[in-house]
Chains A and B, each alone.
Chain A
Amino acid sequence: MTQPAIETRGLSQRFGDFRAVEDLNLTVAEGEVFGFLGHNGAGKTTTIHMLTTLARPASGSARVAGHDIVTDPLGVRREIGYVPENVRLYDTLTTRENLTFFARLSGVEDASDRIAEVLDFLSIEELADRRVGTFSKGMRQRVGLAQAILHRPGILFLDEPSSGLDPMGMKMLRDLIGRLNREWGMTIFMNTHLLSEIAKSCTSIGVLNHGRLVFHDSIDVVMKRYGDEEALEELYLSVVPVNAKGEAA
């Protein structure tokens, strides 16, 4: 039996009296595309920060690619790639210079070959020697993705990857996520609040409400139970009720 790509046990995070994430028990199997759904402020980014070792949990534990996030953060970092929301990279440097920098930090030996491979994979060879500061949001997002997959991580964390993208950009990103999962065998952990993205990209789904995991199952089960993609909204509203102001209750 293979170990899960991500496994959390009672994972919690607090900021003062505010409980950002509470008692999160979650398992993401290897090779899954996991969609983490929730309203703004539900604790999705905080969860990613803990799993990527950017923040220490207040309590509980988690293992990513078999490494404990608290006792072996460097082990975790060797196995993951991360794309934050609205990543900008270094404006004055070219795409190639940005990627060389991140490849070196990841300890990639054959950096120039790997960069060529990634640029080809993402079809952004023409951006290689242009400064990142001149790029559109969609271009930046692809370069952001390039820096995250340079070292061929086993697990890729994406925080609101489709934020600010036009429909064309969203489709392109969706295709890339699918290819990374199928062709490179990456496990994808994706924060989003777009139900349509979950339906089109993910193999499993978790819903977070005010820091608590209120739903977790495979997308196949969801589809069988609720019928079609449109019904995802019905599912979401059933586990995350809204108040009179339209906010998550």
Chain B
Amino acid sequence: MSDFTNHPVRTIAGKDIADARRDRFILIVTGFIALAALTSLITGAVALSTDVATYNDAKATLLALGKSLDSIAAPEFYPLKLLRGAIEQFEIIGAVLGILAGFRAAVSERGRQTLALIMTRPVKGWQFLAGKYVAGLVLLSTGLLAVFALAALALQLSSGVGLGLGDLSRIGIVWLVASAYVMVFYGLTFILTLWMKRPANALLISFAVWLLVVLVAPQIGDTLDPDNQVAGGVFKQLQVPKAEQDRIKAGYATFETVRNGIEAASITKHFERFSFAVLGIKDTYTGKALGPILVEKQGDFLWIFLTSLGLAVLMIARPINANRLTKE
């Protein structure tokens, strides 16, 4: 018992968590994500309630005219679809949270020379680094859990429709993958900050990566997608048969490979594809059972988890450069 309490990984992680709780920085950034997510959710809820009101007006008019309600379809209502804006906000700000948390976790130990104090204790380098990783994981995933729980509550209140166990399971799965997604940026920035001569350069590089991976690559992928040029899809609007669609697409196979390659290089796109499918935000997956979606989207899931795991291994396995322990 006491061995576990005094285990260096636990001790270092516990200290980092206490430190972060005190300085409230993570809390403030997490609060900002929660605010952005709630704003998106409320905007979506307002749009939905307008649709519902329009339907109710039409229904009332038909009933007043003594006509059947069969002529107008009741709007299909999937409350999880309202999370679209929140997920999009999260893709951007969640990554920033990971970068800032990773930077602070490394730079604080360098600047205060506490890294040197820890490394003159009977502690192995990997134990220190694992402690920092565990602390980041606990802090960020707990913060995200609070954001997702708040979003679920707001969803229930704004839609007036109770969320079932299935809905909550889907939100839970997306939270898990979101934690891995944010940890990719945490790990990357931590590694760069600890390895590079000047920590400020590490922050700049991390934000350059963020710009490319979170903003530029997904946008390029979307913009180059021919089917995205018309709302609802070009082929659907022009009512092109499936066989004809395939024949046209075959002529652009190389282009499509490059376009998809750009998208696939972005971990943000993998997170979006996965979460949009699991939450049924994308029409193709709306109302579909969870099992087949998870099977279909296992590629995106593995991409995120393996990247996160790879960075974690890299972070923990690489020895600490003694030159980074010197006076700043």
Q: How far is the CA of A119 from the CA of B15 in the complex (A)?
A: 20
Q: Is A78 an interface residue (CB 8 A)?
A: yes
Contact with A along B1-45 (1 / 0, CB 8 A): 010011010011001001100110000000000000000000000
| Residues on the B chain within 8 Å of A53, using CB | 119-120
Closest Cβ of chain B to A199, distance in Å, is 26
In the complex, the answer to whether A84 meets B19 with C-beta atoms within 8 Å is no
A residues within 8 A CB of B325?
A: 49, 54-55
Most buried by B among A84, A86, A91, A157: A84
Q: Which residue of A lies closest to B326 (CB)?
A: A45
Which residue on A lies nearest to B121, using beta carbons? A105
Q: Are B124 and A54 in contact (CB under 8 A)?
A: no
**A91 contact set on B, CB distance < 8 A:** 112
Binds B, one of A1-9, A96-104, A177-185, A223-231: A96-104
- A106 x B122 contact (CB < 8 A): yes
- Are B322 and A89 in contact (CB-based, < 8 A)? no
Q: Which residues of B contact A55 (CB under 8 A)?
A: 322-323, 325
**Is the CB–CB distance between A84 and B122 below 8 Å?**
no
Question: Chain A residues with Cβ under 8 A from B124's Cβ?
Answer: 74
- Say yes or no: B117 contacts A102, CB within 8 Å: yes
Please give, as numbers and ranges, the residues of chain A lying within 8 Å of B120 by CB-CB distance.
52-54, 77, 80-82, 157
Provide 25 A-B residue pairs closer than 8 Å at the C-beta atoms, listed in order of the A residue: A52-B116, A52-B120, A53-B119, A54-B325, A77-B120, A77-B121, A77-B122, A81-B120, A84-B116, A85-B113, A86-B327, A87-B114, A87-B117, A88-B111, A88-B112, A88-B113, A89-B114, A90-B114, A92-B19, A92-B22, A97-B15, A97-B18, A102-B117, A106-B122, A107-B6
Q: Is the CB of A84 within 8 A of B121?
A: no
**CB of B133 to closest CB in A, whole Å:** 17
Q: How many residues of chain A get a CB closer than 8 Å to chain B's CBs?
A: 34
- Cα–Cα distance between A102 and B11 once the two chains are bound (Å): 9
Indicate if B48 sits at the interface (CB-CB under 8 A). Answer: no
Complex CA–CA separation, A105 to B7 (angstroms): 8
Q: Are B118 and A92 in contact (CB under 8 A)?
A: no
Tally of contacts, chain A with chain B, CB under 8 A: 87
Known A-B contacts: A90-B19, A104-B11. Give 16 more (CB < 8 A): A15-B323, A54-B322, A77-B121, A77-B122, A80-B120, A87-B113, A89-B112, A90-B15, A92-B23, A93-B22, A97-B15, A97-B18, A101-B11, A101-B15, A105-B121, A106-B122
Contact between B117 and A74, CB atoms less than 8 A apart: no
Cβ of A56 within 8 Å of any chain B Cβ, yes or no, is yes
Among the listed A78, A82, A104, A105, which residue makes an inter-chain contact with B116, where contact means beta carbons less than 8 Å apart? A82
CA distance A24 to B244 in the complex (A): 81
Asked if B123 is an interface residue, CB under 8 A from chain A, the answer is: yes
**Smallest beta-carbon distance B149→chain A, Å:** 26
Q: Could you tell me the distance between the alpha carbons of A107 and B111 in the complex, rounded to whole angstroms? A: 25
Chain B residues, CB < 8 A from A105 = 8, 11-12, 118, 121-123
Please tell me if the beta carbons of A54 and B112 are within 8 angstroms of each other in the complex.
no
> Given contacts A88-B112, A105-B121, is CB(A56)–CB(B327) below 8 Å?
no
A102:B113 contact, CB within 8 angstroms? no
A160 (CB) vs chain B CBs: closest residue: B327
- Within the complex, the shortest CB–CB distance from A99 to chain B, in Å, comes to 12
Instruction: Report A13-37 CB contacts with B as 1/0, cut-off 8 Å.
Output: 0010000000000000000000000
Task: Tell me the complex Cα distance, A53–B112, Å.
Answer: 19
Q: CB distance B327 to A85 under 8 Å?
A: yes
* B-chain residues with CB within 8 Å of residue A85 when the two chains form the complex: 113, 327
What separation, in Å, do the CA atoms of A15 and B322 have in the docked complex?
Answer: 11
